[in-house]
């Protein structure tokens, strides 16, 4: 029951899926929420893959239109919650001030020019990668579309509990205080189970899946270093920016895999 409530808390916080209910935010439930971050990403990814299958199989739309619909869905399904963090963190980083001043800038509700430019660049590159993937689609495409949000949310949980908090307030610290790094043993179960399912569905896709998994592993250490060096640790905005930036690199990896591994 706690696991289900934790998952529903995540859906309320990190997606635009309407759930009109109030859930307890006590430590045991928030801990389960942290443990189910990857499941929320998997749900998003499976919906994205199903939408792609429906559009490419039964719709009369062009490949460009299909790519646009997938791109738009990837934005709307999260309600833009992580994009806000991406813009705030971009404004803070490109201010070239010290860590303390950057944290103050991220608290400012106004968005600066660097935040606007960075989100345009982020979303345009995502559209480009999706469009190319739609053109070069293969049997592994559906699985990889589901893996990107799954791994993005997995990275979010790992960074949350393996990087110190930059400040003692905010949404990130609430989740961080509810769980410990040992709580994330279940992430390994998720990943092993997902790889097992992939190998059963289509054994030929196991190589690209393992390659993108390796990219995610590299991203964890890279983003951890960036968070500590640029912002002094994790905040809600830094975490959101890490998810968006991490997924952008994963989309890049999916694009390259279609060219050089599955092409």
pLDDT at 263: 61
Summarised one tens digit per residue, pLDDT across range 40-96 is 999 999 999 999 999 999 999 999 999 999 999 999 998 888 999 999 999 999 988
48-52: list long-range contacts, CB under 8 Å, 24+ apart.
Answer: 48/73, 48/74, 48/77, 48/145, 48/146, 48/149, 49/142, 49/143, 49/145, 49/146, 52/134, 52/141, 52/142, 52/145
Per residue in 166-216, pLDDT tens?
Answer: 988 777 888 888 888 989 999 999 999 999 998 888 888 889 999 999 999
At 167 the pLDDT is: 84
For the segment 19-40, the average pLDDT, to the nearest whole number, is 90
Q: What is the pTM of this model?
A: 0.95
| Every domain of the chain and the residues it spans | 2-17+25-260
Q: Can you give the pLDDT at residue 139?
A: 79
């Amino acid at each position: 029951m706690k696991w289900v409530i934790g998952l529903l808390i995540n859906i309320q916080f990190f997606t635009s899926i309407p759930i009109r209910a109030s859930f307890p935010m006590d430590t045991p439930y928030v801990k389960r929420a942290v443990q189910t971050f990857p499941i929320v990403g998997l749900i998003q990814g499976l919906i994205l893959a199903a939408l792609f299958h429906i559009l490419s199989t039964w719709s009369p739309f062009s490949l460009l239109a299909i790519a646009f619909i997938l791109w738009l869905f990837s934005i709307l399904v999260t309600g833009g919650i992580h994009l806000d963090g991406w813009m705030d963190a971009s404004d803070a980083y490109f201010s070239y001030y010290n860590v303390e001043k950057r944290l103050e800038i991220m608290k400012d509700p106004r968005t600066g020019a660097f935040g606007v430019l960075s989100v345009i660049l982020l979303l345009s590159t995502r559209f480009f990668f999706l469009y190319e993937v739609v053109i070069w689609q293969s049997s592994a495409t559906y699985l990889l579309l589901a893996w990107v949000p799954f791994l993005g949310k997995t990275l979010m949980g790992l960074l949350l509990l393996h990087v110190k908090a930059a400040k003692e307030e905010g949404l990130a610290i609430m989740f961080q205080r509810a769980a410990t790094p040992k709580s994330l043993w279940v992430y390994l179960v998720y990943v092993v189970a997902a790889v097992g399912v992939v190998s059963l569905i289509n054994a030929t896709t196991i190589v690209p899946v393992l390659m993108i998994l390796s990219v995610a592993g590299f991203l964890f250490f890279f983003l951890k270093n960036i968070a500590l060096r640029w912002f002094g640790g994790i905040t809600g905005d830094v975490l959101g920016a890490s998810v968006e930036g991490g997924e952008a690199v994963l989309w890049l990896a999916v694009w390259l895999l279609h060219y050089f591994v599955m092409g």
